[in-house]
Amino acid sequence: MIGFSARCFVAFFVAMLCISPLQASAQQNDPGLERVRTLLSTVDTPPSPTMWRAMGPSTLNHLEALYRDATQPGFVRLRAVATASFYPTEGSRRFLLSVAHDAGQGDLFIRQAVISLERAFGQTVTAEIVPFLQSEHDSVREACAAALGRIGSENALAALRARLPRERNEGVRRTIQNALENR
């Protein structure tokens, strides 16, 4: 007959055999901050959306951390915002909206946040991106107009129709006209 301490050891050993694969799986799904930074820094071929998604939703936390780290190069921070679109979760929605509405935010980051919102959430973010048609930045208005054109809902097209007569930038006007004509 096996003694109590031997049974405890066997139970512990069996438990560790069951838990270890779960821990390894969890660690494999979290690529880690350094890996995400390296992938965002690549010059050659960037990772595909499928590859990003395969790394799991914890990747979004690393993307947000890298964006918020002002010591990171601008292109890494901008790519973090773009990559967030591959994770259509409430967390990425909040993150992208916070980037777009961040006081003093540069136009490239706002523009990318608008594009990423549309890419990740489509028609469900129409009301949230329409206000960017009023941005002081031409590049943001143009990205917003293109995003609303891709969405193509009646609300999106109505916002574009309302903006067209007031738009003074020729590039933005052309984007709005193209969006409306392609519907």
| Per-residue pLDDT tens over the stretch 125-143 | 999 999 999 999 999 999 9
CA–CA distance, 127 with 69 (Å, rounded to integer): 29
Structure tokens at 17: 């055999």
User: What's the Cα-to-Cα distance from 132 to each of 73, 119, 161, 179, rounded to whole Å?
Assistant: 26, 16, 14, 16
Structure tokens at 163: 């903006």
What is the pLDDT at residue 142?
Answer: 98
CA–CA distance, 53 with 76 (Å, rounded to integer): 18
Structure tokens at 132: 């960017």
pLDDT band at 9 (very low <50, low <70, confident <90, very high): very low
Q: Tell me which amino acid residue 113 is.
A: A
Q: Output the pTM of the full model.
A: 0.83
